[in-house]
Amino acid sequence: MPRNIREFHRAPTSARALELLGRVATPTAALVPGPRLPDPLFAHAEAVVDLRALPLNNMRVEKDEIYLGALVDLQSMVKSTTLAAVADGILGEAAALAAHFGLRNLATIAGAIDGATDAPPGPPEVLLALLAMGAEVTTLAHGDRRTPLVSYRPAKEDALCEIILPIGAPMRGALARVARSPLDQAIVAVTAAITPTRARVAVAGAAPAAFVVEANAGTEPATTVAELVNAVAAHVAPQGDYRGSAAYRRAMAEVLARRALTQAFSNEANS
Amino acid sequence: MNIQINLNNQARTFTIEAGETLMALLRRSGLWSVKHGCETGECGACSVLVDGKLMPTCVLLAAEMDGRAVTTVEAFDRGPGAPLDPIQQAFAETGAIQCGFCTPAMVLAARQLLDAEPNPSEAQVREVLGGVLCRCTGYVKPVEAVLRAAALLRGEAVPPIDAPGGIPLEGFFDAMRRSPEPELPGPDSDVVTQTKVAFFSFPTVDTQTATDVVGRPEMKVDAVKLVKGKPVFADDVDLPGMLHAAMLTSPHAHARITHIDADAARALPGVHAVLTYEDVPRVIYASGGQTWPNPHPWDQVSLDNKVRHVGDRVAVVAAESPEIAQAALALIEVDYAVLPAIFDPIATMNPGAPVLHDEPDAVGIADVERNIAVKIHAVVGDTQQGLAEADYVFERTYHVHQVQQASIEPHVVVTYWDEDERLVIRTSTQVPFHVRRMIAPLIGLPVKRIRVIKPRIGGGFGGKQEMLIEDLCAHLTLATGRPVRFEYTREQEFSSARSRHPMVLTYRAGVNRDGTLHALDLYVVSNTGAYGTHGLTVCSVSGLRGLATYRCTHMQFTADIVYTNIPTPGAFRGYGAPQAEFALESLMEEIATALNLDPVEFRLKNAVRSGDPVPITAALGEGEGGRQPQIVQSCGLEQCVAQGAAAIAWDKKDDPAWRVDPARPYIRRGLGMAVCMHGTAIPGMDMGAASIKMNDDGSFNVLVGGTDLGTGSDTVLAQIAAETLGAPLNDIIIYSSDTDFTPFDTGAYASSTTYISGGAVKKAAEQVRDQILARAALMLKLDAVDDLSLRNRQVTAPDGRSVTLADVALHSLHVADHQQIMATASHMSMHSPPPFGAQYAEVEVDTQTGQVTTTKLIMAVDCGTAINPRTAEGQIEGGMVQALGYALCEEMVYDEAGRSLATRFGDYRILQADEMPEVQAILVPTYEPSGPYGAKAVAEIPMDGVAPAIANAVYDAVGVRIRDLPITPEKVWKALQSE
């Protein structure tokens, strides 16, 4: 934890949280721990805001949607029977891959999203699962305005409020990844989620940021798989690092997209 | 600000700073069970229960805890002598504790699980233990402990841990001990023609006459204090007036410091000292913790005006708080003249390459201009002739990489003046006596004014066989007169500590048509980074291990140990052997495959046996000189191969159905193996000593200089003493080590402690035993002691009369012919008996991604007599898992400027409990006549065979040969693509 933190605030309301986060004279960061800590935001912050007093730590099902508060911890997602029943449990599986047990008790879904968006060092699977499932988000500043997760970008002066998953249509899913060890951060990771009408693939490790491609799912699975794999191939723009070269990442994006999609369709066929 | 915490079931109010971590608060509150291992929450050693959930405290603000419940293991301490909490009891009983640094956090992880799930599955146990990295155990016994604890908490009966064991009684061993040991040839003799000696086979154990302590899985003597999280480690003290040190390191891989200005830092309130190269004497030394005189080159000074790697020392600060120390570092102005850097170990030898050590006062560098620190050349026979004579010649080159010891406890030291104005150095070291000797000239104090205390060590693995930071901390105490604490951050562990030498190894092998090895030539380029330290000796061991396992008429070892601008490698468990064994055992597999020979039979056909000389030992020592020809006196290799093969079901290699997975058609399975031969101590060099004295109640104090770094050596040494003295283990009070009070020992390295320090303990115990028997004879009015027996705390005469050890002690101390029964003995050996092992691996290879997943690791080891089978198993299990990381996922990597890219756990991948293969250790007993109770080493050999066994398994699965560690997905994928 950086030693530059001079103020600690507990925000009793969203308004107070936003007020604190919006300060210019005293750079302030929200305490939204992710799986990779400490939060890089803290390096430039002089104050932090604890959001635990806000009602952000619950998971509920309403109509055809699941609402996940921004502070729901990753271990709760791993254990959630509600999430396990959606898209073959890829969100819980993704949460399990994000960090070890102790960090999952501490890290939040919002932290996992913020830490994996744009050019992140953080584990990507939670973000990918949510992207493939077509999640939407709200923020403290815009509590009544939903934004597709794919369009969301973290802002220092705001914080995630809720993540909303559509479950109106039956959804199957699969996650595929390659890493140096079973629980190491993925070199390339892919999630796939399919409903009767749409198929969506989210990819990380093969471009500067995670990306999503989607297609109609009304045709033969093989056709959809081919279409989406081609789309993935068209989107990849990998940068190599010590875990894997650009060429390897490019190849793996296609391999894993095909694998995840095939698995998801297989799950559907077997359901 | 003030916060209220329900801390260990007590309401407490604390005044804190806004940025203070929970870890800092708990430790300054005296809850020493909360350990610092990193700053990113990834090691989990600092974890506590927050509202019943395990969380790492180094990434939690204390302020977040207001109104919450925090639990540490101190909450479960029922007081001295009281029964342990069932979870802690299970950890202690099962041998789940090695260094014990991560144990409190593991206990808490188990607590969270068992509070919610009384009957957990192994997968659930592994999941929660995944929150705590353990570098010692391989997680096998911690998992066993949690399952046992669950049963205890359910009220179920659990099997006793003191299972039948032991080895034949001491009388047998006395006979062995009194037998003349085989005479070894001199350095200049022709060992190949040495007359065969007599050999001993392991006798069948008669349970009626088995040993009482040796050979039994006794609970570790330090288990209770470790499982309770007692303040036993170097950093678990808070001295009045203690200052905190911080180190400024180089941002450049190679540069000269042209100007350094520390005035602003010195002026910062709270700063007590800032030291740069301008402030400390320039004394040349080598930092490797080795026997006097330290091997060349001597190429270091405490602080220099030149930096040779990113992370090299520039300045140190002592201040009243860690925060002020860090702030002071930022105020030190340094002007660097950046120099070209070189990272390639081959190119560094080229003319025109940047010269790292152009200083005039370095001593013993082999070739300054070519950046060659040391050269080695050793010959047996005539390799050129041998290769020319052979029917086939194979040449292969293998690359092995740099990895870190990554002990969970970082390097940490506290220095202070005592009341006699002697400097006390409380440090986490494997080599306290070497530290005392080596630091003296650097700080200008005589040895007699220095006392080094080695408390418990939170893992070392060779990384603490180094005088790494003690000199800087001592300089700060000398400058300030105050106690100073200096601890590396995890990032500094990766940039400024030691690591394993990367090497390029080229073998040429001459093989005859009948499968007989005829010639072996090994050329190694070893990258010793910025400084020489262990460069010579590590590479010597590469030659010894790379050319010892197989009989061969002609052998040659040549090595260039070169400087580059990477952080300096040093000692790391295995010490040059894992590098050589990867190359050797890959080569053996390649030769067998090429010649269509069974790889196992090919190995056994050529492997050394009992009675064989080890010719390379006549030509190559460990370091400068030190050649000491060896003959194998005990060898269980064939049994190891057979038992390992049976355990892994080696025959399934031939089953096509096993090799595939219909549900995952892209998966192929394979099996691989490697044989291993290590050494035990450095012959003619390593020495240990022990002192034993008897107390009024018949208990014994045993003082040893040997350093238990988590291996269980204190327990093993105490078992040797107990067995010899006819006492139970809990009558032995063992202490290690303190240079003021314990006798000399070279330290914990070279797999020497059981063999060398154990030999000293046995000698001292035998002398004490003789005194006890003489005293008993006096008490029983007997003329002779020959027929007296000493067992179960009493001396018994042939006529049935007896006296207890307490009787003997009281008589000797208070009644007649007053005498303190005590003895001190030293032990050194000209033998270095090799332990043997057979390593097996089962893998799954993803043919589309190249990812290799290890599903089973099994190692059968001949370590002679396992003095404590449970701790011996723990060494094998933990070593295999470290070696698995070496094979697959651990790697120190740098950018083009030499900056480390893996500066934290996670990026530097240490395997977690919940991603482990099945791990099994098999002990194959033999009897080593030169070792105490037949023992030889076990600590390092588990590092040797995993990487080649996995490489061979990958080949078995998919037919591609990886000669470059680590075996990453991309390397396998590329190899598959080129097929």
Percent of all residues in chain B with a pLDDT value above 70, rounded to a whole number: 95
Q: Residue A120 pLDDT > 90, yes or no?
A: no
Q: Where residue A119 falls among pLDDT bands split at 50, 70, 90?
A: low
CB-CB under 8 Å, A1 with B21? yes
Higher pLDDT, B204 or B761: B761
Q: What is the predicted pLDDT for the residue at B163?
A: 61
Q: Which of B140-154, B203-217, B240-254, B419-433 bottoms out in mean pLDDT, i.e. has the lowest?
A: B203-217
Extended strands (E) in B22-181: 48-50, 53-55, 69-71
Residue B128 contacts residue B149 (beta carbons within 8 Å): no
Right CATH for B2-76 from 3.10.20.30, 3.40.50.300, 3.40.50.410, 3.40.50.150? 3.10.20.30
Contact A181 B911 (CB under 8 A): yes
- CA gap B630, B834 in Å, rounded: 9
The pLDDT tens digits of the residues spanning A67-105 come to 999 999 999 999 999 999 999 999 999 999 999 999 999
Instruction: Give B85's Cβ-side CA count (13 Å radius).
Output: 21
Q: Which of B843, B849, B854, B894 to mutate to test the interface with A (most CBs of A within 10 A)?
A: B849
Is residue B120 within 8 angstroms of chain A, CB to CB? no
CB contact under 8 A, A178 and B1: no
Per-residue confidence (pLDDT) for residue B180, from 0 to 100: 42
Q: Say whether residue A145 is in contact with chain B using an 8 A CB cutoff.
A: no
CA distance B18 to chain A (A): 5
Q: Looking at beta carbons, which residues of chain B come within 8 Å of A102? A: 41, 44, 47, 54-56, 105, 109, 131-132
Other Cβ atoms closer than 10 A to B330: 11
Domain limits, chain A? 7-50, 170-271
H-only helix segments in B615-702: 616-619, 637-648, 656-659
Q: Give how far B803 is from chain A: nearest CA, Å.
A: 56
Which pLDDT score is estimated for B923? 96
Across B720-725, average pLDDT: 98
CA dist., res. A17 & res. A56, Å (int): 13
Q: How far apart are CA B39 and CA B26, in angstroms?
A: 15
Is residue B847 within 8 A of residue B666, CB to CB? The reply is: yes
Nearest Cα of chain B lies from the Cα of A235 at a distance, in angstroms, of: 20
**pLDDT of the residue at B198:** 32
Contact B650, B629 (CB under 8 A): no
- Taking CB atoms and an 8 Å cutoff, what residues of chain B touch A259? 666, 848
Q: What single letter denotes the amino acid at residue A204? A: A
The answer to whether the Cβ–Cβ distance between A100 and B131 falls below 8 Å is yes
Q: How far apart are CA B867 and CA B543, in angstroms?
A: 29
Write the pLDDT tens digit of every residue in B325-380.
999 999 999 999 999 999 999 999 999 999 999 999 999 999 999 999 999 999 99
Q: What contacts B591, CB < 8 A, 6 or more positions away?
A: B392, B394, B509, B511, B597, B602
CB-based contact, B730 to chain A, within 8 Å = no
- Residue B82 forms contact with A (CB below 8 Å): no
Looking at domain B687-828, which CATH architecture does it have? 2-Layer Sandwich (3.30)
Q: Which residues pair with B555 in a beta bridge?
A: B380, B520
Percentage of residues of chain A with pLDDT beyond 70? 99
Residues of chain A contacting residue B40, judged by C-beta atoms under 8 Å apart: 36-38
Q: CB distance from A142 to chain B under 8 Å?
A: no
**Residue B656: CB partners within 8 Å, gap ≥ 6?**
none
Task: Compute how many other C-beta atoms are within 10 angstroms of the C-beta atom of residue B771.
Answer: 18
Contact at 8 Å (CB) between B634 and B926? yes
Q: What are B788-835's pLDDT values in tens digits? A: 999 999 999 999 999 999 999 999 999 999 999 999 999 999 999 999
The pTM of the full predicted model, rounded to 2 decimals, is 0.96
B224 Rama class: left (phi>0) / alpha (psi -120 to 50) / beta: alpha
Reported as a single tens digit per residue, the pLDDT across B285-323 is 999 999 999 999 999 999 999 999 999 999 999 999 999
The residue among B378, B390, B679 whose CA lies nearest residue B555 is: B378
A102–B132: do the CB atoms touch at under 8 Å?
A: yes
Average pLDDT over residues B378-391: 98
CA–CA min distance B889, chain A (Å): 5
How close B59 comes to chain A (CA, Å)? 6
Residues of chain B with CATH 3.30.365.10: 687-828
User: In angstroms, what separates the C-alpha of B56 from chain A's closest C-alpha?
Assistant: 6
What number is the average pLDDT over the span B55-83? 96
pLDDT tens-digit series, residues B184-222: 555 444 433 322 233 333 444 555 568 899 999 999 999
From the list B41, B68, B43, B70, the residue with the least C-alpha distance to B56 is: B41
Which residues of chain B are in CATH 3.10.20.30 domains? Answer: 2-76
Nearest C-alpha neighbor of B413 from the set B498, B462, B477, B328:
B477
Going by C-alpha positions, the residue among B678, B511, B669, B668 that lies closest to residue B592 is B511
pLDDT for the residue numbered B165: 65
Establish if A255 touches chain B: CB-CB under 8 angstroms: yes
Chain B closest CA to A143's CA: distance in Å? 25
Task: Pick the more confident residue, B807 or B171.
Answer: B807
pLDDT digits (tens, 9 = 90+) for B24-49: 999 999 999 999 999 999 999 999 99
Q: What confidence tens digit (pLDDT) does each residue in B466-497 have?
A: 999 999 999 999 999 999 999 999 999 999 99
Contact list, B914 vs chain A (CB under 8 Å): 100-101, 183
Q: Is A270 on the interface with B (CB under 8 A)?
A: no
**Least CA distance to B901: which residue of chain A?**
A242
- Contact residues for B299 (Cβ-Cβ < 8 A; gap 6+): B284, B286, B357, B359, B362, B363, B365, B373, B531, B532
Mean pLDDT, chain B, integer: 94
Q: Which of residues 173-232 of A touch B (CB under 8 A)?
A: 178-185, 187
Instruction: Give me the residues of B, 306-365, that contact A with CB < 8 A.
Output: 322-323, 326
List the one residue out of A104, A64, A53 whose CA is nearest residue A86: A64
Q: How many CB pairs under 8 A join A and B?
A: 134
Give the chain B residue whose CA is nearest to the CA of A185: B906
Contact yes or no for B970 and A248 at CB 8 A: yes
All residues of chain B having their beta carbon less than 8 Å from the beta carbon of residue A181 are 888-889, 909, 911, 915
B-chain residues near A178 (CB < 8 A):
846, 849-851, 969
The order of strands in the sheet holding B517-527 is B372-380, B554-562, B517-527, B503-511, B392-400
* Residue B811 to residue B183: CA distance in whole angstroms: 42
A147–chain B nearest CA distance, Å? 30
Nearest CA-CA distance, residue A255 and chain B, Å: 7
**pLDDT (mean) for B578-605:** 98
Residue B182 pLDDT greater than 80, yes or no: no
B728 in contact with A at a CB cutoff of 8 Å? Answer: no
Residues A102, B39: C-beta atoms closer than 8 Å: no
What's domain A170-271's superfamily in CATH? CO dehydrogenase flavoprotein, C-terminal domain (3.30.390.50)
Strand-pairing partners, residue B837, are: B676, B861
For residues A211 and A117, give the distance between their C-alpha atoms in angstroms, rounded to a whole number.
Answer: 10
Note whether A251 contacts B853, CB cutoff 8 Å: no
Band of the pLDDT at B175, cuts 50, 70, 90? very low
Residues of chain B contacting residue A240, judged by C-beta atoms under 8 Å apart: none
A34 touches chain B (CB under 8 A): no
Tell which residue, B71, B170, B168, has the closest CA to residue B115: B71
Average pLDDT over residues B900-918: 97
Torsion-angle region of B910 (φ positive above 0: left; ψ -120 to 50: alpha; else: beta):
beta
A101 close contact with B: CB closer than 8 A = yes
- pLDDT tens for A138-196 read 999 998 899 999 999 999 999 999 999 999 999 999 999 999 999 999 999 999 999 99
| Average pLDDT over every residue of B717-739 | 97
- Which residue in B50, B59, B857, B965 has the most chain A C-beta atoms within 10 A of its own C-beta, making it the best mutation to test that interface? B59
What is the nearest CA distance from B226 to chain A, expressed in angstroms?
21
Inform me whether the C-beta atom of residue A246 falls under 8 Å from chain B C-beta atoms: no
A58 to chain B, minimum CA–CA distance in Å? 17
User: Closest chain B residue to A256 measured between Cα atoms?
Assistant: B849
Residue of A6, A180, A261 to mutate when probing chain B, most B C-beta within 10 A: A180
| Residue type, position B421, single letter | E
B661 has a pLDDT exceeding 80 = yes
Q: Tell me the C-alpha distance between B464 and B498, whole Å.
A: 9
